[in-house]
Structure 1
């Protein structure tokens, strides 16, 4: 499965409609989870039947695409299954009991409720939430894939705007020539990693470098009145800086992995598991 992400170019009514769709998906998830808590032993079919009852009872739920509501039920189902699997495996500590969501930042559509334009530069959401046609921009070649291969479409809200993700069912494997070289990597704290050839990659410490600016933005948030527009703006600035640091870390790790994949046939990474104080490979 290949996930391609594009930046969404939105107008203010579309932003409000997307926020309403996200709140509706969160409402369905929390209601289904409460139904499971109150009726122990409830199976998969009963959860989907209760979802149908919610659509009949609430108009704002009915306005959201039915497959988007089903995706929220699937999230609850996965959380329940993960909890019982952890109990069976007797994992030490907390088992991950399903919890209600207070903040959610995405709504997921399956293969209905949306339609791509012929040039693949915009997507039209056809449910009754009023999102409408959304222009997308990015560097992925979405036009190369048939629309039938797109199994999921997800709208994600981040600090710097909204993004549209496409989950495409394709084989994402790059064929590389065998080099005959293998290498081992030891991930650490002082150094980012040390390989078996003796080379040590220095730790970039993106968080420590941006910590001074984070403190500044955090003080700005704490000085604003709770519930005010200025506090929301200050929270957004803080979130943008956290997002920048997160992206720096991710891109740095991807760059290093690409360099090893091209030159080495295989590599093994070891790290210290804090829970059991064992080496994980």
Structure 2
């Protein structure tokens, strides 16, 4: 059915550019479209309470993916030439040739050309097993994600929340105001409008890259310094429904951080556990007494055992305890079923979470 649909689009006179594209690139685009449609219907049948993910229209100029044909790399991996009907020609590769030299052409499975606000980028999918040397540290920790501090661990250490969007708001407002003034209702937009639109897009792209860079560095540092990391399984989609905190929550980029945390946990073969966040800030980490607090109350004071701790530090200790309890139950269940727990740990370094590269 997919092949017939792709062939009919290629022969359609209204879309002549499709016929110029490499056949495998056409098939790859059809595969991604079909996956999004299938996912939408699966969500509809599952009757999930959130949005079902109806496929959105995307411009054909956003990206194109080649599999094994349609491109050719130079011997020194410094240039790439596209050989399909578009006749785009040959392009220089920047910052990638040193890495690509180590891989043969047989290992490069796909090449994706992606358009960003500041130019075009080539993404290479390489078939290679990534192995990192890891020396056990004997350390375990739990982390409480927050807005005041990005996270607080069970030892009381904190990582600053840099708030990249908040810091860029002044420049963004100024750039968006200029863009709004250059917009002409009902007319073709001027070149100055499109120049300003690109400036606004680049500012947003910079914020996005800053968030990603920080998420990668924080996740990698956490994985390299601990043998066990426990964190809260927060439902960010529900949290951003709070209009007063939605921008701050999105700016913190918790979901991206946890995705990279799980990815590096698999690469370095450590255990990463997500636990339910219920009452981690309310319960006392020493005696277990539930002490009700508002969001503005930043200090935990237990009336039963007189413990005084920072609210986030107390929550991080509770999160670590929940993770250890979960692992204890998992270990007991595995032992009773006769499962090799050492093999289970080495294969499933991340418990109950995705194990794919967040960039994929």
Output the TM-score relative to the length of structure 2.
Answer: 0.62
Once the two structures are TM-superposed, the CA of residue 154 in structure 1 deviates from its matched residue by: 0.9
Matches within 5 A, 1:46-125: 46-58=1-13, 59-102=16-59, 105-125=62-82
- 1:151 equivalent to 2:109? Answer yes
- d(CA) in 1 for partners of 2:218 and 2:206? 19
User: Against the structure 1 CA distance between its residues 275 and 165, is the aligned structure 2 distance closer, same or farther, given a 3 Å change threshold?
Assistant: closer
Aligned-residue CA RMSD (Å): 2.0
Once the two structures are TM-superposed, the CA of residue 103 in structure 1 deviates from its matched residue by: 7.3
Given candidates 277, 280, 294, the residue that maps to 1:279 is 277
- d(CA) in 1 for partners of 2:238 and 2:202? 35
Match of 1:251 in 2: 213
Q: 1:195-230: per-residue Cα shift (whole Å, max 9, x none)?
A: 111112121111111110000100110011341100
- d(CA) in 2 for partners of 1:196 and 1:117? 51
- d(CA) in 1 for partners of 2:60 and 2:152? 39
* Structure 1 portions without partners, runs of 5+: 1-45
Q: 1:248-275: per-residue Cα shift (whole Å, max 9, x none)?
A: 1111121112222222112122153255
Structure of higher CA gyration radius: 2
Once the two structures are TM-superposed, the CA of residue 276 in structure 1 deviates from its matched residue by: 6.0
User: Against the structure 1 CA distance between its residues 203 and 163, is the aligned structure 2 distance closer, same or farther, given a 3 Å change threshold?
Assistant: same
Once the two structures are TM-superposed, the CA of residue 78 in structure 1 deviates from its matched residue by: 0.7
Given candidates 137, 140, 145, the residue that maps to 1:187 is 145
- 8 Å CA contact 1:186–1:271 kept in 2: the answer is no
Match of 2:320 in 1: none
- d(CA) in 2 for partners of 1:272 and 1:261? 19
- d(CA) in 2 for partners of 1:164 and 1:274? 31
Give the count of matched residue pairs.
236
Once the two structures are TM-superposed, the CA of residue 85 in structure 1 deviates from its matched residue by: 2.5
Given candidates 211, 216, 222, the residue that maps to 1:260 is 222
Match of 1:13 in 2: none
* Secondary structure of 1:148's aligned partner: coil
- d(CA) in 2 for partners of 1:223 and 1:112? 46
- 8 Å CA contact 1:125–1:133 kept in 2: the answer is yes
Q: Which has the higher strand share?
A: 1
Return the structure number with greater relative CO, CA threshold 8 A, min gap 6: 1
Output the TM-score relative to the length of structure 1.
Answer: 0.78
